[in-house]
Structure 1
Amino acid sequence: MDMRDFVQSAGRAVLEMVEREWEPLSQAELEQRLDQAVEEILEADLVAKVQAQPPAIYVHLVQAQEPLVLPAETVKSAPPDEEEHLAQETDDDAVDSYAVKHITELLQNSKSHYSKSRLAGRARISLSHTVLLSLTLLSKRVSYRSVSGRFRLEKGNIHRIYFSFCERVNLLQDELIRWPNGEARDLLCPLYALLGNTGPEEAQGAPQVLGILGHTRIPIRLPIGKQNVDSTMPEVKRMKEEAHPDSWLNLELVCDRRGRFLHCQISKGSETGRAASLRDRLGRQPRLMPPGSCLVARAGYPLTEHILTPHVSRVGPREGLFNKTLEAYFSILDQAVVSLKARFQRLRYLDMGNYERARAVVLTACILHNVFLDIGPLLEGELDAEEAGVAEEEGDVDEEGLRRREAITDALYKGLESTCA
């Protein structure tokens, strides 16, 4: 990249900062700022007059004086009845009013010590209004400018509200995306159960599946300094053609048979080592896996005592039957990913080059995926053609994992033979 490229990248960064920080105020927020300034002037004048009085009169007046500062949870530009109107204007498929109420109560009742401080001079909005605004941005691919007009707030303010919401939801990760402990047995499913062609005796002796391990990619904008500014190709298409590793995030997931996320790890596209940290964690803490249980994952993931993957080489009838058994579980994870991206359409392409903020948005969507699953079922859809049916080579294999897979493959095939006899 020559000096001209660096100058263009720097210019773009400055332009984005100007748009985000110094966007002209909307009419409604300008009126709010003026009202607040008048109140502050009147309050300062009143306090000066009171302080000029004798001490006894001063104490009496201060005790009787009602505060002029607006409460932290009021919205001068959008009263409660207008919030309901805004909720009605929002697409029902994108933001459900019950979901807004449920998430608002969840944040209010959370045990996290979230800082409620704000920048001086910025509009105060209620928590429910914040949830509605943020869900609108997450659920539909709309710009800050269009949301600014709907919610009567300046674009820079919406930017801050949105990311403060993500920060607040991220604090709930350990509470809402957690590995099952005492309730793990309620989530277990016999490995053969979804195949439907083995007898009850074989099903009773089968390994128990705790969850399905997999991943998806979340496209993001290349960071400043790594973009091909001379290219005229659209950015999403250019990302697919050039496949720069920093043009996406890796989202590693484990879901149960209902599609609920039990594990979520987000990393840069340039970071390698599929499920390495999860494998190490399960090796150090074997109690996380109930006796006789396992995770299932597609080829490319490590084959271990706790993670079963399909056969890749020398696939005969017995190996094919084992692979078919695992494939029935992979569709559960696929549907969970489809539901995640259908409900939170902003994940289809995050137009931001800041890794930490992009990660915060993705983690927010994963946490809220579990919240929405408590309210209703997964959203239906089709898996992206680019993610479906991608053949991969076998990942790392350890001896215990290989031994266990062979034993299960033999037991499954013998069970099928006895059923057909």
Structure 2
Amino acid sequence: MTIIFQKLIDEIGLILSGCNKVSLETKILSSVWVLSNQESFRGIADRFGLEKGQLHRIFIEFCESVSSINEKYITWPSAPRAEVIMKSFEETSSIPNVIGCIDGSYINLSGQATECRASYINRKGNSSMQLQAVCDHEMKFIDVYTGWPGSVHDSRVFKASPLFNYLEQNGIVNDGHILGDSAYPLQNYLLTPYRDNGHLNNYQKRYNFLQSSCRSVIERTFALLKGKFRRLKYLDMHKIEKVPDVIMAACVLHNFIREHESSCEVESDPEDSDMSFNDPCNSQGQNEKSCTKRDRIANLL
């Protein structure tokens, strides 16, 4: 039994209950196997000496239990930790005061996952649920928000998230910011690229290049997440209300593993390509403070 598996047992053993006929080790191992593979439930149930329906119940209970401790493993950085993250990002990207990178990813669902299937169809024509996440320089999630249908735009998901309310009220220490693509609104705490209208100056082009390079860490984090937990590539679940627990559980386990074990990086799959929208600095009602901050940083690079 590996040390990391024993730590997982110690972490959720008291939360995970249910049928005494199935050992705690079997519950955890079978559930992690379900998350990590795209093998059928029947095949996995046979592998662990369980019935198919029994495995379904164990898996949902496991995901609910792991999801319930998300605040322990997915945490917004304190001031001292934020300083470490900012320093690391600046060393690799030259952009100062970056505390994390934000993006959204589609978690594909089966067509039977919901009666309101049309609302879950994303721009690629697949039924999916949105996963919004912010990661740090170590590819650990520092914020995760999920549950919205795939048809909903990233900016709307962001504005509905607890993170948006927190940042609106508190901002980020030391005039910090997160980096996002052009799908997100430019804010003092969220810096996005300049819209390439063919008239960008050299400072703006360099900023866009460095910002994009830095932001690639969230794409690699999503790739690592789905590489470990392949079930997220296609969730064949009939109860849509249980899907967020499965997604959150995978994100918690991702951080748990990153914390307790060194991992190999996975090549990112640019499945969620950027979508271009009007630059808020070229629109009415522009956020002058945010635009000035971005211009100041671009001129420093």
Taking structure 1 as the reference length, what is the TM-score of the superposition? 0.62
Match of 1:185 in 2: 83
Residues 352/377 of structure 1: CA separation in 2 closer, same or farther (3 Å cut): same
Match of 1:259 in 2: 139
User: C-alpha distance in 1, partners of 2:237/2:139?
Assistant: 28
Does the 8 Å contact 1:210/1:293 carry over to 2?
yes
* Residue 101 (str. 1) matches residue 6 (str. 2): yes
User: C-alpha distance in 1, partners of 2:164/2:114?
Assistant: 34
Residues 145/400 of structure 1: CA separation in 2 closer, same or farther (3 Å cut): same
Residues 115/255 of structure 1: CA separation in 2 closer, same or farther (3 Å cut): closer
User: C-alpha distance in 2, partners of 1:402/1:258?
Assistant: 28
Paired residue for 1:301, among 184, 188, 198? 184
Residues 106/405 of structure 1: CA separation in 2 closer, same or farther (3 Å cut): same
Deviation readout 1:223-280 (Å, 9 max, x if unpaired): 454569xxxxxxxxxx789726xx1111111111001100000022233404213333
* Residue 170 (str. 1) matches residue 59 (str. 2): no
User: C-alpha distance in 1, partners of 2:116/2:178?
Assistant: 37
- The CA deviation at 1:317 is 1.4
Match of 1:373 in 2: 258
Q: What percentage of aligned pairs have identical amino acids?
A: 25
- The CA deviation at 1:376 is 2.4
Match of 1:319 in 2: 204
Query: What are the residue-to-residue correspondences of 1:342-361 with 2, within 5 Å?
Result: 342-361=227-246
- The CA deviation at 1:390 is 3.5
Query: What are the residue-to-residue correspondences of 1:173-252 with 2, within 5 Å?
Result: 173-182=70-79, 183-189=81-87, 192-195=90-93, 207-222=96-111, 223-226=113-116, 243=125, 247-252=127-132
Indicate the SS of the match to 1:295. Answer: strand
Contiguous gaps of at least 5 residues in structure 2? 281-285
User: C-alpha distance in 2, partners of 1:131/1:150?
Assistant: 14
Match of 1:198 in 2: none
Residue identity in the other structure for 1:304: Q
Residue identity in the other structure for 2:91: A
Residues 380/320 of structure 1: CA separation in 2 closer, same or farther (3 Å cut): same
- The CA deviation at 1:306 is 0.5
User: C-alpha distance in 2, partners of 1:318/1:290?
Assistant: 26
User: C-alpha distance in 2, partners of 1:152/1:369?
Assistant: 27
Which structure has more relative contact order (CA 8 Å, sep 6+)? It is 2
How many positions carry a matched residue from both structures? 285
Contiguous gaps of at least 5 residues in structure 1? 1-83, 85-96, 196-202, 229-238, 413-421
* Residue 270 (str. 1) matches residue 151 (str. 2): yes
